[in-house]
Structure 1
Amino acid sequence: MSSLIIVVLVLNLLHILFSTVSVRSDQSVLPIRSFKVRENATYDCVDINNQPGLGHRLLQNHTIQMKPSVSIHELRNHIDNNKSYSSEIGCPDGTVPILRISNEYNTKAQLFSEKYFHPLTVDNPGAHIVGIRSSTGPYRGVEASYNGYTQYIEKDQASYSEIYIGSWLNNQVNYIQAGYIINPSFFGTGQLWTYGYFKGKDGKGCYNTACDGFIQVSRKIPIVQPININPGDSDWSRWSIHQDKATGNWWLTQLIENAPNVDIGYWPKELFNILNNGANIVGVGGVVQASHNGSSPPMGNGNFPVGSHKNSAMFTNIEVLDYNYISHKMNYFPTEILVDSPQCYDIRIGKVKLFHSKRLGFFFNYGGPGGKFCGV
């Protein structure tokens, strides 16, 4: 894949990161039960067969896959769970949790999108990326452990920590990404959330269950959820995006310490036209969007990766599934380091082997404070 194609793919990826959409549950479907987990987060338990994702025009004849055909355990060389988790949600059998958003917030989210976020262009992208990418696919999946922090992010800024896969062919782009997000114009709050996103064959995409496409399967862990942590503390997760061996669907799985792994849901293969035989690019890292006045927000925990590896944000045990579904450390493949604004953000490839008595595998530290002179 040429460097120009990779650049275009990344630009498309960044554009989608900072194009906001509203999140909703389908209010025409009567919820069986509801959970209010935060002031701004209520989940409706809706019939799994009537969930919003199935409304996509490409999924009219789709049959829900309840679990991957092969467990993620069987696809990996080692297991490294970094998080103990007790869900606040427990929807009844046959239902799934869908985040509820009011009509008022729906309108507000659209207004924020029009006012503060603009299509990303080469001339004025306003976005910065730090991470590691490999473009020698095809690949069947990527996974990593990573931590998210609460940071002050202005209303027209955004900060992400993500894993992603994607392909490019004949000016068409398909990709999937997931991780942590702080995006006040999207959620109406500066809180840390989990998220997922896809862009498919029709050139359109969607965050979480905000619109049609993603199929939620887990009754306990939704694709989008607020993370309640104190400033300075971090929340650890390990997520995997991987292609199902039998169906070709792309699963999102959360690997959890002291509990069974959770297959959250999947993006059906029908949504894509150039991911059927794997993805050409996989990557992990941080991305930020500058405010309208050009000020860039913090990335990670706001610290440069200098000194101890404990003092800045991390991605650890980064692994990639090759075309034959064999798992390798990401540096088994040729990799590219991405740092487009070193005066504001940086990256440091890890060398130590243990962190809090856990093996780090292939890892890196990243992040920085941002500011007004990060460039475009």
Structure 2
Amino acid sequence: MRSSNKLILMTLSTIALILVAKSHKTIPSEEEKVEMEKLLNHINKPAIKSFQTENGEIFDCTDIHKQLAFDHPLLKNHSVQMKPTNAPEWITSNNISQKAGLFQFLQKGISCPHGTVIVKRTTIQDLIQSQRLKSIGFNSPRHVLTEGNNIDLTGHHFATADYGYSRIYGVKGNINLWDVQVSNDQVSIATMAIAEGPIEHLASISVGWMVNPLLYQDHIHLYTYWTADGYTKTGCYDIKCPGFVQVSKRIPLGVLLQPVSVYGGIQKEMDLSLHQDHATGDWWFVFGGENVGYWPKSLFIGSGLVKGAHLASWGGQVYSPVKEKSPVMGSGHFPEEGFGKAAFVNGIQIIDGSGEALIPQIYTIKTHESTPMCYTTKYVHDDDEPWIRAIYYGGPGGCIG
């Protein structure tokens, strides 16, 4: 176990140095590729069944008790929790529990057997790009981006609605789906996040969709990200490091999302939630009423998120190299265009200490825009039907720096 963990840390450190010291177009040396292949063999666990999708992505059915999560030293004696100890009513209600069924995550006829979970197979390109995104501080919650830290924030832009009024134990939101176009070295995401602690000990979890050709090919994919120490040594995207415990055999992290919204036409959204199990302290990720998996409480001991969170955020974020014009955010249109044209997150709710999903008071939600000439946020509430709490966000981009 020690030698395996040492291999992971050494290899990721090597990749980080490559990415920070050189441009994104740098090709790893043969020696570096060998080290990455060793890491891949460690990350991609033996599959009981495998299959390839029409867009070329490979998924493995892995023994639920032998998945990568349990290589984490803090999870050595962890017992898999198949579901929260007390499933909140807002998850089990019929109108919510059927929403995951609206998505065709994988091709018909593809399924994993009982006792396994479905995991997207990691590639060398995945490792390189995910570490690059981590090294540039991408996906940090808004308040981290605006505080003094050692992360170069050049090229980052965000438009969000944030809650920081009181301690919460989860968040909900229906995130509008758009399959936007960006260049290979650009990123555009729609996200919902929770965070706790100062930057040096920041603990956060983010979920949503991402368009980033180098990590997810050319289309919109489901993504997650977590850290327990301010984006330094812990955490990763999806299941590219030990930590997240997958329990679903139907919804893999990093999967292509279909169908998507049409400008001026049918709108598609995904119902997501993050909530803390009060009995175990684990943080559960739920998609349309289906438990995808969880981040065990032990991952965050000594940092934050052990007992709830103080920040929740909904909205968009993009990144582009300093000499390139920034990409589109959301649908690529400003909030003023409204429903059917601008991207939105509706059904915004917070989860209190009793596990109840609540509509936040109007005054507790604050909007933030880093670059209003390119991206903006509009918060709608009681008087703005059809939603009680929602935001429109995004814009066409085109900013430099």
State the TM-score, normalizing by the size of structure 2: 0.77
2:317 matches 1:252:
no
Using the alignment, how far apart are the partners of 1:72 and 1:25 within structure 2?
A: 38
Using the alignment, how far apart are the partners of 1:166 and 1:112 within structure 2?
A: 20
Residues 114-123 or 216-225, more deviating: 114-123
How far did residue 86 of structure 1 move?
Answer: 4.2
- The letter of the residue matching 2:317 is V
Aligned residues: CA RMSD: 3.1
Inter-CA distance 126–102: structure 2 relative to 1 (3 Å threshold): closer
Using the alignment, how far apart are the partners of 1:185 and 1:124 within structure 2?
A: 20
Structure 1 residues 189-268: aligned runs within 5 Å: 189-201=217-229, 203-229=233-259, 232=262, 235-255=268-288, 261-268=289-296
Q: Deviations over 1:138-197 (max 9, x none)?
A: 11000100112111111111011011111014831000010000112323x221100111
Per the alignment, residue 90 of structure 1 pairs with 111
How far did residue 221 of structure 1 move?
Answer: 0.9
2:109 matches 1:99:
no
- The letter of the residue matching 1:362 is R
Q: Which structure exhibits the higher relative contact order, with contacts defined as CA atoms closer than 8 Å and separated by 6 or more residues? A: 1
Using the alignment, how far apart are the partners of 2:340 and 2:160 within structure 1?
A: 18
2:361 matches 1:322:
no
- The letter of the residue matching 2:285 is L
Per the alignment, residue 372 of structure 1 pairs with 399
Using the alignment, how far apart are the partners of 2:153 and 2:374 within structure 1?
A: 17
Inter-CA distance 111–66: structure 2 relative to 1 (3 Å threshold): closer
User: Could you tell me which of 376, 380, 388 is aligned with 1:361?
Assistant: 388
User: Could you tell me which of 149, 165, 171 is aligned with 1:136?
Assistant: 165
Using the alignment, how far apart are the partners of 1:347 and 1:79 within structure 2?
A: 28
- The letter of the residue matching 1:366 is Y
Structure 1 residues 330-341: aligned runs within 5 Å: 330-331=360-361, 334-341=364-371
Using the alignment, how far apart are the partners of 1:183 and 1:190 within structure 2?
A: 7
User: Could you tell me which of 48, 57, 70 is aligned with 1:32?
Assistant: 48
Structure 1 residues 137-176: aligned runs within 5 Å: 137-169=166-198, 171-176=200-205
Per the alignment, residue 10 of structure 1 pairs with none
On the 8 A contact 2:185/2:214 being kept in 1, the answer is yes
User: Could you tell me which of 280, 288, 297 is aligned with 1:269?
Assistant: 297
- The letter of the residue matching 1:368 is G
User: Could you tell me which of 384, 392, 397 is aligned with 1:352?
Assistant: 384
On the 8 A contact 2:103/2:259 being kept in 1, the answer is no
Q: Deviations over 1:55-88 (max 9, x none)?
A: 1121112111111111132579996576623443
- The letter of the residue matching 2:326 is S
On the 8 A contact 1:331/1:362 being kept in 2, the answer is no
On the 8 A contact 1:159/1:297 being kept in 2, the answer is yes
Residue 215 of structure 2 aligns to a residue whose secondary structure is: helix
Structure 1 residues 277-292: aligned runs within 5 Å: 277-292=307-322
2:332 matches 1:302:
yes
How far did residue 284 of structure 1 move?
Answer: 0.7
- The letter of the residue matching 1:262 is E
Using the alignment, how far apart are the partners of 2:385 and 2:250 within structure 1?
A: 33
Inter-CA distance 56–138: structure 2 relative to 1 (3 Å threshold): same
Aligned length: 343
Inter-CA distance 122–37: structure 2 relative to 1 (3 Å threshold): closer
Using the alignment, how far apart are the partners of 1:24 and 1:62 within structure 2?
A: 23
The structure carrying a bigger helix percent of its residues is 2
Per the alignment, residue 373 of structure 2 pairs with 343
Residue 197 of structure 2 aligns to a residue whose secondary structure is: strand
Inter-CA distance 146–27: structure 2 relative to 1 (3 Å threshold): closer
Residue 306 of structure 1 aligns to a residue whose secondary structure is: helix
Residues 272-281 or 76-85, more deviating: 76-85
Inter-CA distance 67–114: structure 2 relative to 1 (3 Å threshold): closer
Using the alignment, how far apart are the partners of 1:74 and 1:115 within structure 2?
A: 34
How far did residue 292 of structure 1 move?
Answer: 4.0
Using the alignment, how far apart are the partners of 1:132 and 1:76 within structure 2?
A: 27
Per the alignment, residue 44 of structure 1 pairs with 60
How far did residue 365 of structure 1 move?
Answer: 1.0
Per the alignment, residue 11 of structure 2 pairs with none
Residue 240 of structure 2 aligns to a residue whose secondary structure is: coil
Per the alignment, residue 12 of structure 2 pairs with none
Structure 2's unaligned 5+ residue stretches are: 1-18, 25-35, 139-149
Using the alignment, how far apart are the partners of 1:239 and 1:193 within structure 2?
A: 14
On the 8 A contact 1:182/1:191 being kept in 2, the answer is yes
Using the alignment, how far apart are the partners of 1:332 and 1:326 within structure 2?
A: 18
- The letter of the residue matching 2:282 is N
State the TM-score, normalizing by the size of structure 1: 0.82
